[in-house]
Structure 1
């Protein structure tokens, strides 16, 4: 009988281990497949231009003061009067491939008289009234030098290529910093009040239940609220501040709940020892309780960062979808697309899977870097304390 029971227990243990291994293997395989698919599709599209360029191509008319030149080889791709090397790109236009140190293109001005420095990879699409598509370099060189010999001011139409995610990266970082700057202090102090000061009773139970309910509300509801209140009622328009305020409300339940659990984990002896030594409750909370709860608080911050970076629904209706670097917190120049909202646009409106996967790779790496930074900060504070 004992032998049969032992055999039955061994079989059950074996089945249990097999199920655990299968579940673990399935989880890992799912993660590997998802990450692998994104990286395989997205990595080929990632390069310096993709990371540093603006998303939209920018066209500017500039005036260039030419210098006289007597020694000009018309068969060379060197444009003597401009101090630049150029060549035809795949579209047939003239692209700048190299600029000399004293190139006059570096001192050019736009039509408003403001300085506009031409850079490598900029495309010259028009010279005076002549379209440069499929123009030979000899013809282009001759036109430049004729203008230089006559001392003319050369008017060029210059297009700066787009296709980069720099505006979305900057906007995402702005949203992260603004949202955390608003939500973190409020959430941490609220958690401290609910844990250390609030009296136990029905009111506290209702508040905690409300926080749990808020954590489960879909983000699109927060986006609707943000659009009605911040964008329309407070007239912030689609702006980075409206998006940050909306995300701050969305993050509060996570920060409050996680911070509360971290505060509850601090042994009562720490509080009693501090109070016994003559410290006030406020001093105890800010010098003993909060510093010791810092690792848990950082977990809340890390979770919040991941939520911010991955959020799209709430930001589409509050921050907007314009791929530009915001120059203000509110108004027409404050609307900005983050990485996730741009990813959504590429898939939904353009069906560009390759570019969407490239942005997804950047999002994954960004979250990984921010998590490492948060852990490093946690270790530094833990060692000091």
Structure 2
């Protein structure tokens, strides 16, 4: 009987190990396939221009004071009147290099504001003359001929195709959301842990927090659109998006902070109170500082949630690829990395660009996870 029982145990252990190996292999394989697909599709599209350019092409009319001077540079691509090297494309002439003192660096837009023409900007018109069908020689002659006028108007197009506005908007959303949610969440956790009396009311509050954590983010987006966008007339704006996300983040911050506060030994509190400190002083000078590792982890996890959120932001912050110049109003609407990714897939079917943005998001989340582990190791009190 003992031999049969041992064999039965061995068989069950073997089956259990095989099941564990199969489950682990499937999990790793799924992760590798997903990450591999995204990186294979998206990595070729990532470069410096992709990270630093605006999403849309920007066309500006600028007034330039041309320089009617002789230059010893005889390169075919060099235009003396603007002291710049250009490259001929099908519909424009692209600036590939500017010499010191180039008049393009001091160009003025139609509002008479300085608009510095930069490398890779494209000249598409000289006054009213379209340069589309010009050769390099004709372009150079045209520029030199109008140099005698002194000031000439050029139509300059700055190429887009970059995610700079979404990166900046994502950063704005992160800072605003945490500025609202972190203090409220930490203080709420402190109250629930250190001050609230156990009873039905506390139980209801804790149940409500658990319910908030389980609500789909699209519900938060609907609430934010109805309350912040329409009722409070914030319109689609980063402030409306940040307020919506701050509500979404509260359960995570409150729960994680509460667990960190509960982990602080009672002896710390008793020692502080025994030395004459008030309960408020004990909480802010002893309890919270010792709970700092857990609080920081909660904040970092919240940042990861913000970076990956799209449903709640589409209906509150908008999907316009621009850097917001205000907190509310027409100029405050902005797309984050995830909302732009969603828009590219749903409306344009641009899988390659969407995967490139996904690579950036994955790298950001990976960095946040590393930072979370480092903070935990760095600040955790060793017993």
Tell me the TM-score normalised to structure 1 length: 0.95
Of 339, 342, 347, the residue aligned with 1:341 is 339
Q: SS of the counterpart of 2:149?
A: coil
Asked if 1:239 corresponds to 2:227, the answer is no
What residue is the counterpart of 1:94 in the other structure?
Answer: 93
What residue is the counterpart of 1:9 in the other structure?
Answer: 9
Unaligned runs of 5+ in 2: none
Asked if 1:301 corresponds to 2:299, the answer is yes
State the Cα distance separating 1:29 from its structure 2 match.
1.3
Measured against aligned partners, the alpha-carbon deviations of 1:33-57 in whole angstroms (never above 9, x if no partner) come to 1111111110000000000000011
Asked if 1:39 corresponds to 2:39, the answer is yes
State the Cα distance separating 1:153 from its structure 2 match.
1.6
Q: In structure 2, how many angstroms separate the alpha carbons of the residues matched to 1:88 and 1:224?
A: 50
How many residues in Structure 1 have an aligned counterpart in Structure 2? 383
Measured against aligned partners, the alpha-carbon deviations of 1:202-235 in whole angstroms (never above 9, x if no partner) come to 1111111111111111111111111111111111
What residue is the counterpart of 2:228 in the other structure?
Answer: 230
Matches within 5 A, 1:1-385: 1-70=1-70, 76-89=76-89, 91-148=90-147, 150-382=148-380
Q: SS of the counterpart of 1:85?
A: strand
State the Cα distance separating 1:372 from its structure 2 match.
3.2
Q: In structure 1, how many angstroms separate the alpha carbons of the residues matched to 2:100 and 2:71?
A: 18
Deviates more, 1:138-147 or 1:373-382: 373-382
State the Cα distance separating 1:294 from its structure 2 match.
1.9
Measured against aligned partners, the alpha-carbon deviations of 1:307-361 in whole angstroms (never above 9, x if no partner) come to 1111111111111111011111111111110000000000000000000000000
Q: In structure 2, how many angstroms separate the alpha carbons of the residues matched to 1:281 and 1:152?
A: 75
Q: In structure 2, how many angstroms separate the alpha carbons of the residues matched to 1:238 and 1:152?
A: 45
Tell me the TM-score normalised to structure 2 length: 0.95
Measured against aligned partners, the alpha-carbon deviations of 1:113-155 in whole angstroms (never above 9, x if no partner) come to 111110010010111111111310100100111112x233211
Change (3 A) 1:356 1:205: same
State the Cα distance separating 1:275 from its structure 2 match.
2.3
**Contact 1:43–1:358 (Cα < 8 Å) also in 2:** yes
Measured against aligned partners, the alpha-carbon deviations of 1:254-277 in whole angstroms (never above 9, x if no partner) come to 111121122222222322233233
Q: In structure 2, how many angstroms separate the alpha carbons of the residues matched to 1:145 and 1:379?
A: 65
Q: CA RMSD in A?
A: 1.9
State the Cα distance separating 1:71 from its structure 2 match.
5.2
Q: SS of the counterpart of 1:97?
A: strand
State the Cα distance separating 1:377 from its structure 2 match.
4.6
Change (3 A) 1:41 1:83: same
**Contact 2:70–2:80 (Cα < 8 Å) also in 1:** no
